Amino acid sequence: MLFSEQNYKRRGAFGSIEIICGCMFSGKTEELLRRLKRAQIAKLNIEIFKPVTDTRFDQTAVVSHDLNSIESTPVENSTAILLLKADTQVVGIDEAQFFDDNLPAVCNQLAQKGIRVIVAGLDMDFQGKPFGPIPALMAIAELVTKVNAVCVQCGSPAVYSYRTVANANKVLLGEKDSYEPRCRHCFHLGDGDNH
């Protein structure tokens, strides 16, 4: 990995932005939690943020589909992330697609202060279009990790979040009752259904 906890300590404080993106059920939050827990093991001071609207598993904790979790601070907007503790060395941000378009500027500001910023979120919405601030974050990041799920239709690598319920809203909080991971082929086979 480009930015390991050991390199962080050895080289001193330097900032960076890491993006973990992909479709639903691809392990984005699990990877975010893994990196944050490694930072904790390295005795780095961490803070975790998520949008206040993400209440699927818990009001405050960031929780993966495998039910691993870590406490976080729910915030109304990306600017609130700047109100972190002075000694913070690593910032984790989950469900970044739900934040406002100012999130890339906030992440840049944190990185300029020497903070390692790790961001996880969906890169595409249910229509297969770029989602929220994720594309802009990918452009400015030092490291982008795109994770895949498994297509529930054919077993191929899945990169799309296919909505299984009729709802045209861009944002619809849901789980396996509302979404399933699909590969490109199977996603476009369903274009006549909910897209």
pLDDT digits (tens, 9 = 90+) for 8-42: 444 456 799 999 999 999 999 999 999 999 999 99
What is the predicted pLDDT for the residue at 62? 54
Query: Does the residue 184 lie in any domain?
Result: no
Query: Does the residue 57 lie in any domain?
Result: yes
Query: Does the residue 179 lie in any domain?
Result: no
Residue 186 has pLDDT above 80, yes or no: yes
d(CA 172, CA 179): 10
| pTM score | 0.84
Residue span of the structural domain in which 65 resides: 5-147
- Tally of domains in the chain: 1
- pLDDT for 70-123, tens place per residue? 677 899 999 999 988 889 999 999 999 999 999 999 999 999 999 999 999 999
Query: Does the residue 15 lie in any domain?
Result: yes
Please list the active-site residues: 95
Query: Does the residue 107 lie in any domain?
Result: yes
Query: Does the residue 129 lie in any domain?
Result: yes
- pLDDT for 45-73, tens place per residue? 999 999 888 656 555 555 545 545 567 78
E-strand spans in the chain?
16-22, 46-51, 61-63, 69-71, 73-75, 90-93, 116-122, 143-147, 149-150, 157-158, 160-163, 179-182
- pLDDT for 138-166, tens place per residue? 999 999 999 999 999 999 999 999 998 88
CATH number at residue 60: 3.40.50.300
Query: Does the residue 162 lie in any domain?
Result: no
Query: Does the residue 164 lie in any domain?
Result: no
